Amino acid sequence: VATFRVLESLPRSAQVVIVGGGIVGAATAFFARRAGLSPLIIEARPALSTLTTPASTGAFRLQFDNPEEIALVREGIELFASFAEITGLAGLDIGMRVQGYLFCTTTESGAVRQREWVRAQHEWGVHDVEILSGDEARYRFPHISRDVVQARFRAGDGFLKPKRVALGLAAASRAGICLETLVTGFEVSGGVVKTVHTNRGSISCEHVVDAAGPFSGKLAAMAGLDIDVRPRRRMKLTMPDVPEVPAHAPMTIDEETVAHWRPGMNGAYALFTDPSTPVADPEWNVRPDSQFAFDLLSPASERSLARISPFWAELAERGEPDWLLHAGQYEYTADHRPMLGPSAIPNFHLNCGYSGHGIMGSPGGARVVVDQIVGRLKPRDNPFDPNRAMVERPFDIL
């Protein structure tokens, strides 16, 4: 259903040059077209959406700890829920499964913290987050361990196929797309970007959007900008065939260890976010580490999935399921919120720094960037203004 306008040769000029053909670049192109602009996507690799976007778990949630990110992701969920209608791509199935996010705690202090969070979320308008006692959680979700004392749950959270969304947005944007085209520099004169240089030639432009994911800092540096984006490796364990996984289970998260899993394919995807992972250079091929799989699957591991979902221990006893690993990089900002809008160069716009939330955040984020390009939104009214004062944020759980 999703067909793109791949260009054989590089155009000489373009109104909005979007660097990066992942989900963020595709969403930018989609909202740019809706705002009456003419977008061009430049992608270094031979195909769209092949770096970070397909490494993700494709999950979305409104269970955040601040109202701004809730509002941003809410826009995305609204788009996902009516994707085929809004994009005009009749019949396109983005694999959306609204099965909820279940955060489980095994400690009393965790239970207190959960209740505080949920109270705040209700105040911010997310009224449908529930607190479940351990027994209520087990009644609804029999895979939950007896050690879970409480859970918070929102039935409207869920997951989808991120690559389908990205390709759908790129197609619906009717953007020209240049593949195997590496942006190598910019001509900045009179304080604005005039030209984008690539390995295939140069393009003069009115606006540039940096949607280069983990490479966004490097790309900005080519224009002389110093932005604080810190790539860190994140991995995903895929177990494609595990019949024991309850297919209708929610994203199931251990609040204490940050290990989490969700049904996917005929099995599950499992992850955890290790705060000790060092900041690294951006990479075109991110190599996974098999220790990640053992940490999640071994019942003896402190990050074992079996801590809150005991069926994983039974599986491990019979020999671990077949698995494979995928790796990508989160691009963290200091406050773990994206940078959306004009940089110190007014026509060089940032759409990056999603800090691990770029699937769910990309529609709202792209809309915010485009609204600033067309003057519908002022940086002072934008909580994600790249020039904001950032407060260093400790690692939250996902």
Q: How far apart are CA 291 and CA 296, in angstroms?
A: 9
Indicate the helix (H) or strand (E) that contains 168. Answer: helix 162-173
Q: 44 or 253: whose CB is closer to ligand FAD? A: 44
Q: How far apart are CA 117 and CA 338, in angstroms?
A: 22
CB of 273 to ligand FAD, least distance (A): 9
Q: 150 or 157: whose CB is closer to ligand FAD? A: 157
CB of 253 to ligand FAD, least distance (A): 11
Report the relative pairing of strands 39-42 and 13-19 from DSSP bridges. parallel
CB of 104 to ligand FAD, least distance (A): 18
Q: 268 or 271: whose CB is closer to ligand FAD? A: 271
Q: 315 or 369: whose CB is closer to ligand FAD? A: 369
Q: How far apart are CA 233 and CA 331, in angstroms?
A: 9
CA–CA distances in Å: residue 74 to residues 26, 60, 165, 295, 397: 18, 9, 16, 33, 19
Q: 153 or 215: whose CB is closer to ligand FAD? A: 215
Residue whose entry in the numeric block shows the structure tokens 């999703």: 2
Q: 211 or 249: whose CB is closer to ligand FAD? A: 211
CB of 354 to ligand FAD, least distance (A): 4
CB of 217 to ligand FAD, least distance (A): 10
Q: What is the DSSP string of 257-319?
A: T--EEEEETBEEEEE---TTPPB----SSPPP-THHHHHHH-TTSTT-GGGT-THHHHHHHT-
Q: How far apart are CA 383 and CA 386, in angstroms?
A: 9
CB of 319 to ligand FAD, least distance (A): 25
Q: 212 or 315: whose CB is closer to ligand FAD? A: 212
CB of 213 to ligand FAD, least distance (A): 2
Let me know: does 115 contact 136? Beta carbons within 8 Å. Answer: no
CB of 281 to ligand FAD, least distance (A): 12
Let me know: does 359 contact 20? Beta carbons within 8 Å. Answer: no
CB of 298 to ligand FAD, least distance (A): 20
Q: 29 or 111: whose CB is closer to ligand FAD? A: 29
Q: How far apart are CA 264 and CA 394, in angstroms?
A: 30
CB of 178 to ligand FAD, least distance (A): 9
Q: Per the structure block, which two tokens stand in for 255?
A: 């609040």
**Is 254 buried (19+), middle (13-18) or exposed (0-12) by CB count in 10 A?**
buried
Q: Which residues contact ligand FAD (rule: CB under 6 A)?
A: 19-25, 42-45, 50-53, 55-59, 182-183, 211-215, 219, 234-236, 271, 328, 330, 354, 356-360
Q: Per the structure block, which two tokens stand in for 377?
A: 């939104």
Let me know: does 141 contact 113? Beta carbons within 8 Å. Answer: no
Q: 177 or 308: whose CB is closer to ligand FAD? A: 177
- E-strand ranges in 43-149 read 59-60, 101-105, 129-133
Q: 49 or 114: whose CB is closer to ligand FAD? A: 49
391 contacts: CB under 8 Å, gap ≥ 6: 334, 335
